[in-house]
Amino acid sequence: MRLSSLLRKITVCSALALLPALTIVPIRPAQAADLTYVEAGSYLTEEDLTASPDTMASPALGTDPADPPGADVPLLTPVDLSLPDEAPDTPDASGVHDLLPDDAGGTEGADASSSQMAAAATSTVIGASGNGIGYTGYEPPDPTIAAGPTRLVLAVNARLASYTKTDPPSKEWSIPFSKWVPSKAWSAGLIYTDPWVVYDTADDRFFFVVLGADSFKDPTKSYLIVGTSPSSSSNGTWCVHHFGFQSGMLPDYPKLGYNADRLYVTANRYQFQNGKRAFLGASLITIPKNPLLSCNNVSAKRFSGLTNLDGSLAFSIQPPTRGRSVPERN
């Protein structure tokens, strides 16, 4: 990654810290000294969003179904419109993808008791290693991992898995998003890609975000889907909220951040028309965490067209994170 590209991303990330309407967590003072801030209000549009919850039970321990036969293998393809030179190409969604079957079913895994958590903590070894999710046929794989007190949650294109935090880690379950996301009218026919997972130390929950769209060329529907674990464990009933984008829009390469009160989801927004795409800048969704934690209806805000210091459209923003270990700053 070029230094100029890295500095631009850092600048945009720190700039979001100063937008009062977004209540993004400010970065730490030690980091702030070397960064330039943009003035408040550096976004083009603001929208109110609502999302109702769905639920999905964690797969039964030992669940590891194969990826659907004939699943799409997104390939990188050239496009005809000008984009930032570091922008990844959008995957090609040719081929036939399994429509969503019923939920994976199975019994819910029991949450860890205090004694189990203590035992797992004493058995956790720094430097422990083991095998993760194998190749799923998707390129690029987009691997990501988050560590809780007793569990590791891994994600790749387009699969989520839970492992014990032991040496070596033991896989509890692994499942494609297409077999796990609730089978609803909104999710029918979606293809999943670009997962991201974090562990929020402020509320001791895992969160994931994944892009779901019916096409990566000319989508008629696309969503950023946010999942919330039931506790510090990855086993149990997860809560799922989906945030839709207009027809022809694709929220690519989503990322997650959080503070004590809110979850922050960013994505690069593309407009598709006649098989070609135009980059419209990054979007930021700010989501209050209480409805996510209690699995209730959510009222959120989306800010689109975030800009850099020079007025150019921001690209690939990584939201800051702050858990309980980082003090508030006045």
Task: Please compute, for residue 327, the number of CA atoms within 13 A of its CA located in the half-sphere on the CB side.
Answer: 3
Q: What is the residue whose two structure tokens read 């692994």?
A: 174
Mean local confidence (pLDDT), 63-87: 50
Report whether pLDDT(199) > 50: yes
Q: Are 248 and 256 in contact (CB under 8 A)?
A: no
Report whether pLDDT(94) > 60: no
Q: What is the residue whose two structure tokens read 């209540």?
A: 23
Q: What pLDDT was estimated at residue 276?
A: 81
Q: What is the residue whose two structure tokens read 């903590």?
A: 121
Q: What pLDDT was estimated at residue 89?
A: 35
For the chain, give every domain's residue range: 44-306
Q: What is the residue whose two structure tokens read 């387009």?
A: 158
Spatial separation of the C-alpha atoms in residues 291 and 260, rounded to whole Å: 13
Inter-CA distances, 58 with 48, 53, 111, 239, Å: 31, 16, 11, 10
Range scoring the smallest mean pLDDT among 46-60, 76-90, 187-201, 279-293:
76-90
Pull the structure tokens for residue 240: 């799922």
- Give the phi and the psi of residue 22 in degrees, each rounded to 5: -95, -20
- 195 pLDDT band (50/70/90 cuts)? very high
Range scoring the smallest mean pLDDT among 45-59, 95-109, 224-238, 291-305:
95-109
Mean local confidence (pLDDT), 190-194: 93
Range scoring the smallest mean pLDDT among 85-94, 226-235, 320-329:
85-94
Neighbours of 330 (CB within 10 A): 3
Query: 192 by DSSP, 3-state: which?
Result: strand
Q: Residues 15-61: pLDDT tens digits? A: 433 333 333 333 222 222 222 223 333 566 778 888 999 998 998 88
Q: What pLDDT was estimated at residue 43?
A: 60
The pTM assigned to this predicted structure is 0.71
Range scoring the smallest mean pLDDT among 68-82, 128-142, 282-296, 298-312:
68-82
Mean local confidence (pLDDT), 121-126: 54
Q: Are 180 and 162 in contact (CB under 8 A)?
A: no
Strands 237-245, 54-57: pairing is antiparallel
Q: Are 304 and 269 in contact (CB under 8 A)?
A: yes
Q: In what order do the strands lie in the sheet with 205-213?
A: 54-57, 237-245, 222-228, 205-213, 191-200
Mean local confidence (pLDDT), 292-316: 89
Q: Are 155 and 161 in contact (CB under 8 A)?
A: yes
Pull the structure tokens for residue 268: 């690069």
Q: What is the residue whose two structure tokens read 């990826």?
A: 67
**Short-list 232, 226, 3, 207, CA closest to 111:** 232
Pull the structure tokens for residue 54: 């769905």
